[in-house]
Amino acid sequence: MAENSSKNSKTAKRKSPPALTPEARENQLISLAIDEAERQLRAGTASSQIVTHYLKLGTRRYQTECAVLEKKQELLTAQADAYKSAANVEKLYSEAMAMMRKYRGESDETNED
């Protein structure tokens, strides 16, 4: 009985306030799942799925895949920035052409898009 009450007091100490966002709630649940997996691994009662999952996390292949995904994300960000930059340059070019036409005395209304 004493072991049960000490277990409950341990759980009560670690109880965190309710999450304010769905993302925070998800992070809380992930943390609880990882804590439970650790407890099972230490006790030697972890399922083969849990053991396999954590073994995969330690492999060189998994780490390489993570690095590749990070680089792909950086590439996508760079491509999005380049697209925005190109759109901005195109806008500046159009404005410059309009100013040149105005400077030459041409009507700006004929070339409006």
pLDDT at residue 22 in the model: 92
The answer to whether the beta carbons of residues 16 and 28 sit under 8 Å apart is yes
pLDDT at residue 1 in the model: 46
**Residue 5 token pair:** 């009450």
Q: Quickly list H helices, 15-59.
A: 22-43, 48-57
**Residue 85 token pair:** 């930059």
Digitized pLDDT (tens) for each residue of the chain, 113 residues in all = 455 555 554 554 567 788 899 999 999 999 999 999 999 999 999 999 999 999 999 999 999 999 999 999 999 999 999 998 888 888 888 999 989 888 888 765 555 55
- d(CA 26, CA 38) in angstroms, rounded, equals 18
- Answering whether pTM is above 0.85, one says no
* CA torsion angle 32 35 37 43 (round to 10): -140
- Which stretch of DSSP H or E encloses residue 69? helix 60-103
